[in-house]
Chains A and B, each alone.
Chain A
Amino acid sequence: MITRLFKFHGGIKPDAHKHESAGAPIQRAPLPSRLIVPLRQSTRATARRIVEVGQQVLKGQRIGEPEGFLGTAVHAPTSGTVIDFGRYTMAHASGLETRCVVIQPDGEDRWIEHAPFDAEADGREATLAWLRDCGLVGLGGATFPSHVKLGKGSGVDTLILNGAECEPWITCDDRLMRERADDILAGARILFRLIGARELVIGIEDNKPEAIEAMRAAAQRAGDAVRIQPVPALYPAGGEKQLIRVLTGIEIPYGKLGADYGVQCFNVGTAHAVYRAIAHGEPLVSRIVTLTGNVARPGNWEVLIGTPIDELLPLAEPRPDTNRYLMGGPMMGFALPRLDVPVVKGSNCIISASPTLLPPPPPEQPCIRCTECAKACPAELQPFELYWFSRSKNFGKAQEYHLFDCIECGCCAYVCPSHIPLVDYYRFAKSEIWARERDKAAADQARERFEFRNYRQEREKEEKAAKLAAKAAETRAKLSSEAGEPAAGAAAAPAETEDPKKALIAAALARAQAQKAESQPRNTDNLSPETQAEIAQIEARRKAQAGDTPPPADGAVATDTPAPAETEGSPRP
């Protein structure tokens, strides 16, 4: 079969340093004194703890239930006792903490009862759920939940297994392919069926001839129509987007997934774990970790998830001049701030570093715009422009120049003759932009809340006013219907022409008058006909005495508007 390989722009060829550990077969690491098992094992999702302190657990027993769309289950890596639950520092550049279950192994490593899963019989959805419940996440480093990545089961033609392992020093995938090629292929077949692909390609950098040979032999044994494709060893050929580009020619832009372009990519280690989960019913409780660098015994170890790194390191016998340890490769890894942190599902390599092996960079010099970085950038960015924009905090411009297309592979900083830590500038700019976006989102929310509050208050005020006006109008209507034209004319005239406030005042006055009208005549209400007649006589007498001057209805209540009071209050004889 003639296959065409594609190229990606740039890339670098650092010293591979694979030979140190590539010859060492995978060994099972001894049980540590305790296992710190983080409940957050996949990107952005923390499992819900279902065990109590003091509880006995078996190897493979579920200790965390998956929660949410991106959640995966968490399992006890060995049998033992849960001795603590709390926040522990993680293997993270900033030493972040996460909730962990601490298990003291009982030394028996006793499995919980488990049985193979019949993926054929139980159907696709059940299989995805099974993988989720087995804690399957991508073992290439990003720990993205595999069941989510397997998607809808349609629209993906090409399944790619990533065995490129392009970072220097790391050999865990290399060893896995050499030693467990049949299992990887079996896992790949499961993924192939689940994803509904038509083509299976396994990309391996050509600096791993033994792994390529082992995979080819396995494919021959199984009679699979799988393409084992050597790819040129050029960092970062193992980056998902770069590998997809090399094998298919498809370029996946920032923010898009392979599935959008009909191609999906899994790490070979993930395929192996999928095989264990389906064919043996074993949840993901261990992974292969390369211990290398400035050590006497570089090697590859099968390590239980949760094993503290300081208990793992003695296996490799670090040399005395070791000054720090890197997790991951030297291009994209990070220096461990402390060593009592656990191995997690994304931990592929720990490099023991010494000042001679990984010397500190020479002092930073000014950028001379030599464009070496642009020549090396696999994302085809202009790194020095991003550097200028990030440095001057011109973040809008940095985004315009596609800052977020940067995959932080480190090629630019690797080649920079001025020794500028370029990636740090991009990390800084990205986090500043994220922080600003968060702040802006918060501010937007606050503003929206404030505006809504204002709107609500205004609305309530208007409603109140409308209610009052309606009530006033009602009252006026009632009054006018009760008391005839003069009252209605007096109160209604201003209400129609003036603003609502005046109408309100008028209404209030009208109410007061109404009240007064109600209260004033009270003395004369409900009187016996005799008393009424008496009053009428007195009135008549007064009138006769005072002539035409109308007498106040009630001497105690002096009002500005005597007319209505008189008309309403004094029942004329």
Chain B
Amino acid sequence: MIHSPYIRKPASVQRVMGLVLLALMPGVAAYAYKVGAGILVNLAIATLTAIAAEALVMSLRKRPVAIAVTDLSAVVTAWLVALCFPPIVPWWLLVTAVLVAIVVAKHLFGGLGQNPFNPAMVAYCSMIVAYPALMSQWPPAGGLSFETQFGLILGGARDVDGMTGATALDALRTGLRSGTGGVDAVMQGSAFGFLGGRGWEWISLGYIAGGALLLLTRTITWHMPAAFIGALALISGLFWLVDPGRFASPLFHLASGGAMLAAFFIVTDPVSGATTPRGKLIFAAGVALIAWLIRTFGAYPEGIAFGVLLMNLCVPLIDMKTQPRVFGHRGQGNSR
């Protein structure tokens, strides 16, 4: 017997995930145009792996396969993995990463809606720990032809010094640590554009456009992106003001690495993130803070993934402590 309500908004998980994929398109387009079409190959590999893994695990778990595959959640995970990996990683690395995301991070914890950690970030962190060298080789924007990228993806020989370079974040760190000069001197290097990494500003703009779409369609709320961007700008700005020679500017931080991808697509993952309005602010700000700490003082070039995983751990506590007040209970000491 079916009970009320008998009418439903035409909404579905598939629609939500489809919208996220659509919102990723501008960033992907800018990526393919500025850095190279290798990313499209990687997206295809990741998508196919994710769908196959999702179908396999669901059939092993004796759950309906068709619904799980068509809800597009695995595809979103796959795209996020591909987008935060270097576009020239060998195919087997990407396949392994997606398998880690879908099988380990998602289904071993109970599947859609049950994973405490962001699957894409679990994949990123395990791979950067396991294959730090491969995960650090980024092609200079527009520096590699599609054929070269495709060859590298298929496992071709790597002439690391000649073909690939470090990201802007990486270059800045190594530059600063080698003691050749301050931020300004290091940023004269070829890896840097007018804000962050050369060419990457456009990709960031693409992600911002997609984020705007998600905000307009109310797929995400303003809390997470605002808190993430605000906190990252605040903490980097403070240190930059104190010592601009040693610390990069807030704009550099925001335009570099995966900051915009993270602000609109990664910290906003509903399943593993905080859910209350105040909790979302705390969660995203925490990710930004940890990311800045790792970028500035840590051993890895990018810290967002670790920030996300660490804050994922805090989500139950954050949610519990930030429950909004309930109708009629205003100012009665019921807000926790």
Contact = CB atoms under 8 A, between A and B. Distances in A.
Given A366-B113, A369-B113, A380-B324, A334 B3 contact: yes
Contacts of A385: 275, 319
Contact of B323 (A363, A371, A401): A401
Given A251-B328, A335-B1, A365-B67, A419 B323 contact: no
B188 interface: no
Dominant SS among interface residues on chain B? loop
Nearest to A415: B9
B241 to A, nearest CB: 36
A554 to B, nearest CB: 88
Interface string B305-336: 00000000000000100011111111010000
Interface stretch (A8-16, A108-116, A158-166, A214-222): A8-16
B280 to A, nearest CB: 9
Interface string A327-339: 0101111110000
Contact of A366 (B16, B112, B332): B112
Contact of A368 (B9, B112, B332): B112
Interface string A362-380: 1101111111101100111
A118 B12 CA distance: 59
A417 B13 contact: yes
Interface stretch (A204-212, A277-285, A421-429, A450-458): A421-429
B327 A379 contact: yes
A362 B111 CA distance: 20
Dominant SS among interface residues on chain A? loop
Given A253-B327, A405-B326, A369 B271 contact: yes
Contacts of B326: 253, 379-381, 402, 405
Given A333-B6, A360-B2, A414-B8, A253 B275 contact: no
B145 interface: no
A353 B67 CA distance: 27
A185 interface: no
Interface in A405-436: 405, 410, 413-419, 421, 423-424, 427
A252 interface: yes
A353 B270 contact: no
A357 to B, nearest CB: 9
A252 B330 CA distance: 10
B178 interface: no
Interface size class of B (residues with CB under 8 A): 35 or more
Contacts of B111: 366
B60 interface: no
A331 B7 CA distance: 7
Interface in B264-294: 270-271, 273, 275-276
A391 B127 CA distance: 36
Contacts of A405: 326-329
Nearest to A256: B328
B179 interface: no
B15 interface: yes
B71 interface: yes
Nearest to A369: B270
Contacts of B113: 366-369, 418
A382 B319 CA distance: 10
Contact of B5 (A15, A360, A402, A414): A414
A241 interface: yes
B180 interface: no
A361 B330 contact: no
Interface in B1-26: 1-9, 11-13, 15-16
B329 A402 contact: yes
A372 B275 contact: no
Interface of B: 1-9, 11-13, 15-16, 64, 67, 71, 73, 111-114, 218, 221, 270-271, 273, 275-276, 319, 323-330, 332
17 contacts: A15-B7, A93-B3, A241-B328, A251-B327, A252-B328, A326-B6, A334-B3, A335-B6, A358-B7, A369-B273, A371-B270, A374-B275, A374-B276, A382-B324, A414-B7, A416-B11, A418-B113
